[in-house]
Structure 1
């Protein structure tokens, strides 16, 4: 993703939230996702930070072995949110999207 120069060269928290409801943008995605199988039981929806460069760009790959797509506690249909500040700052969400899938083309 790409952020404005105002937020360049910063850490941005990456989170999974409980709903994929985008009716009112990022305001209706609910609380942090909870999964009892996560290694971080207190805040399993907290995926740490992404760091953008001095141009405001992030190019990162993350792997989380405990996340599943299906099952009742899976992440399909939930949302992914990026925070203005790091994951400990409780700052505003600057971007969000629904975690979904579609047919292969």
Structure 2
């Protein structure tokens, strides 16, 4: 299966396209005859390759940003923890110091 087709089949557009052609409120059904009538945009191969390249670039950027987000979250947690442990030593000498949530 071409990478282009994989992107299309996983897309929100295709998912909405499928839902629009299903029947049933609780258990949605798509008959084989209805499945045969679904259309998928199929540009020339060169355009498909360009689309796939662009989408892969975007996916890679998303992955980079997710990794960066996780790194920053860990830095925040480490800072909060280190800040808390350092300040607790000072505050532990005080009496009647409470935090209510």
Q: TM-score range by the shorter chain?
A: under 0.3
Structure of higher RCO (CA pairs closer than 8 Å, 6+ residues apart): 1
- The TM-score, its normalising length taken from structure 2, stands at 0.20
Structure with more of its chain in helix, by fraction = 2
- The TM-score, its normalising length taken from structure 1, stands at 0.19
